[in-house]
Amino acid sequence: MKLNKPHIIGGGYTGHIGLIGPTIIPFQGACWNCFERKYKNDLKDHHFDILLNTRKSSGAVVFLSSIIANIQAWDGVRVITGIGSPLMLNRKGFLDLDTLKIDWEIVSKDPNCEVCQTNSYDKNN
């Protein structure tokens, strides 16, 4: 965000589940802070402990990571060339390798987000 550069997040994790997206384009869609805030708000009404910045020791299935990487690469090509709108802007998907089902989550820009609701990024962040 500080450099106003698009970035794409994704990967294979927790065994058979892979994360597709989101693609973050600064100040055009939801930022990572918006995704994190939605995650925390979704869990607020549940009786779960929120664990941030923790890693599980289970590895990823390598070909799952390859599938995710190909989808992410296609979104990167779309962002770089402008041949189409990014498919993962404001959304992320969870690919279940057991069923090949993708569960999509849509995230809108948070109107109270201090990161993306301005046209510039505070250099102190």
The CATH number of residue 72's host domain is: 3.40.50.720
Asked whether residue 81 is assigned to any structural domain, the reply reads yes
- What's the domain count of the chain? 1
Asked whether residue 95 is assigned to any structural domain, the reply reads yes
For 98, the domain range is: 7-106
Token pair recorded at residue 16: 């058979």
* Range list of H helices, 1-124: 32-44, 62-81
Angle at CA 91, nearest 5°, toward 89 and 93? 125
Give pLDDT tens digits for 44-76.
766 555 555 455 555 667 788 888 889 999 999
Asked whether residue 99 is assigned to any structural domain, the reply reads yes
Residue 90 in contact with residue 22, Cβ under 8 Å? yes
Give pLDDT tens digits for 77-108.
999 999 999 999 999 998 888 888 999 999 99
Residue 20 in contact with residue 72, Cβ under 8 Å? yes
Cis peptide before 111 (omega within 30 of 0): no
Asked whether residue 113 is assigned to any structural domain, the reply reads no
**What is the pTM for the complete model shown?**
0.73
